[in-house]
Amino acid sequence: MSQSSGPAALMQQAEDIMALNDRGAYTVPTHGLYPFQWNWDSCLVALGQRHSNEPRAWLELQTLFEHQWDDGMVPHIVFHEPDDGYFPGPDVWATGRAIPTTGITQPPVAGFAIRRLFDDAIDKTLAKECAAQLLPMVDRWHQWFFNHRDPESTGLVALIHPWESGRDNSVDWDTPFERVPVEGITPYVRRDLQHADADHRPTKAQYDRYLWLVEHFRSLNWDNTKLHNASPFQIVDPGFNAILIRSCDDIAHVADALGHADIAERNRAMASKGREALELLWHEGNGQYACYDRVEKTLSDSPSIGGILPILAELPVHRAKAIVARIQKLNASVNYLVPSHDPEDSEFDGKRYWRGPSWLIVNYLITSGLRTSNEHALADEIEAQSLSLIETSGFAEYYDPITGEPCGGASFTWTAAMVMEFCQLPRTA
């Protein structure tokens, strides 16, 4: 795909894609493949929307939080309008909500996004009003995580389904997936393969297990007091936890500004306990963090992006330096940072979703963390590579990190939102 270049042209193209996928009060990730509202997509998309329309950005978040469950969970998909083009739809999840949602969650980037919207707002009155409304909701979601996904109070939360991680088919899940059965699942027809190349998507063996877990949780009536312990899949993902820790820090900052000392104190306490516990996930051999399998009680050897994302959580200096060195090492194996899996590992697959491709939202979270740790040179390098990827390959869902080939869905909303952020952020070097 040929693109006219330069930041102004890229901004315009990004805005057009976001407008194309705008459904009024929420945005779909892309037409066809993902026709509903996804949790972390929406929070990151709001960061792009703020550049042209701050009220619309706040509305994106408000719409998502309108569907928060009574127990505090914010679901991973909200099925606003019926659409047969996606599987598994509301009838499979059967969560019993008037406007249907799934029964699992996604990476909690909301707190992080809200702080950015709040701190940089041009309309300060609107920002205060919207942040004050959202703050207790985000706080409840954060508490939900520690109440329901950390029953032994370790300071870190577990995922009970790979879709919660946002990194659906990562190599990280391969070993724990061996104990997820497939017997007894209702026969199904995948819809994703009608919209994207099968070689870029998860396999049937993985889909069967995704479905087994959904049916298992459904049989427990989506009761979050039971799901964690009843799940054969309980994984402590360092990237996911780092996002939660950062969001707790960011919500504490906003709570201070709005005079909510209780929310600030609670979120700071969750963040500092989590940051301390994160150290247990350090994998010396890989020079990065690793997933912990709570059922087997083992640390994974899989060198995935999940172990690099903790840079977002304001790490101790020696750990931040180690992550910088790790990304620099990966830079020698790829043309477009940051690959979702190490190309030197035998499981790397440059085109298959979360098993190798580079994703702009990941690059954005990593550069945000690098900047928090004052590692601006590497952040600049990742941003430059991200924008050159867009100029050569367009606004795809993800990209082969070696060839730059666009993969997955096209005209992708969060890719566009991240381009808006990268084009508008002040450069430091």
Residues tagged active-site = 168, 397
Q: Which one, 34 or 58, has the nearer CB to ligand GLC?
A: 34
Nearest to 160 by CA among 148, 169, 152, 147: 148
Q: Which one, 38 or 141, has the nearer CB to ligand GLC?
A: 38
Q: Does 239 bind ligand GLC (CB under 6 A)?
A: no
Q: Does 207 bind ligand GLC (CB under 6 A)?
A: no
**Distance in angstroms between the alpha carbons of the first and the last residue of the chain:** 30
d(CA 151, CA 160): 13
Tell the smallest beta-carbon distance from residue 64 to ligand GLC (Å).
12
Q: Does 210 bind ligand GLC (CB under 6 A)?
A: no
Residue 358's DSSP bridge partners are 339, 399
d(CA 117, CA 252): 15
147: exposed, middle or buried (C-beta count within 10 Å: 0-12, 13-18, 19+)?
middle
Nearest to 274 by CA among 301, 239, 230: 239
Tell the smallest beta-carbon distance from residue 43 to ligand GLC (Å).
10
Tell the smallest beta-carbon distance from residue 168 to ligand GLC (Å).
4
Q: Which one, 300 or 415, has the nearer CB to ligand GLC?
A: 415
Q: Does 103 bind ligand GLC (CB under 6 A)?
A: no
114: exposed, middle or buried (C-beta count within 10 Å: 0-12, 13-18, 19+)?
buried
Q: Scanning the structure block, which residue is given the tokens 């082969």?
A: 400
Tell the smallest beta-carbon distance from residue 29 to ligand GLC (Å).
4
Residue 277's DSSP bridge partners are none
Q: Does 60 bind ligand GLC (CB under 6 A)?
A: no
**Torsions phi, psi for 339 (to 5 deg):** -65, 145
Q: Which one, 155 or 238, has the nearer CB to ligand GLC?
A: 238
154: exposed, middle or buried (C-beta count within 10 Å: 0-12, 13-18, 19+)?
middle
Residue 406's DSSP bridge partners are 399
Q: Does 306 bind ligand GLC (CB under 6 A)?
A: no
Q: Which one, 115 or 201, has the nearer CB to ligand GLC?
A: 201
Tell which one of 166, 239, 357, 404 touches ligand GLC (CB under 6 A): 166
Tell the smallest beta-carbon distance from residue 66 to ligand GLC (Å).
19
Q: Which one, 246 or 355, has the nearer CB to ligand GLC?
A: 355
Site for ligand GLC in 334-363 (CB under 6 A): none
Site for ligand GLC in 26-55 (CB under 6 A): 29, 34, 38, 40-41
Q: Does 364 bind ligand GLC (CB under 6 A)?
A: no
CA 165 distance to own-chain centroid: 7
Q: Does 88 bind ligand GLC (CB under 6 A)?
A: no
d(CA 161, CA 204): 16
How many chain residues bind ligand GLC (CB under 6 A)? 7
Q: Does 237 bind ligand GLC (CB under 6 A)?
A: no
Q: Does 212 bind ligand GLC (CB under 6 A)?
A: no
Q: Judge contact between 412 and 397, C-beta under 8 A.
A: yes
Tell the smallest beta-carbon distance from residue 120 to ligand GLC (Å).
24
Between CA 257 and CA 269, with CA 263 as vertex, the angle to 5 degrees is: 110
* Interacting residues toward ligand GLC by CB under 6 A: 29, 34, 38, 40-41, 166, 168
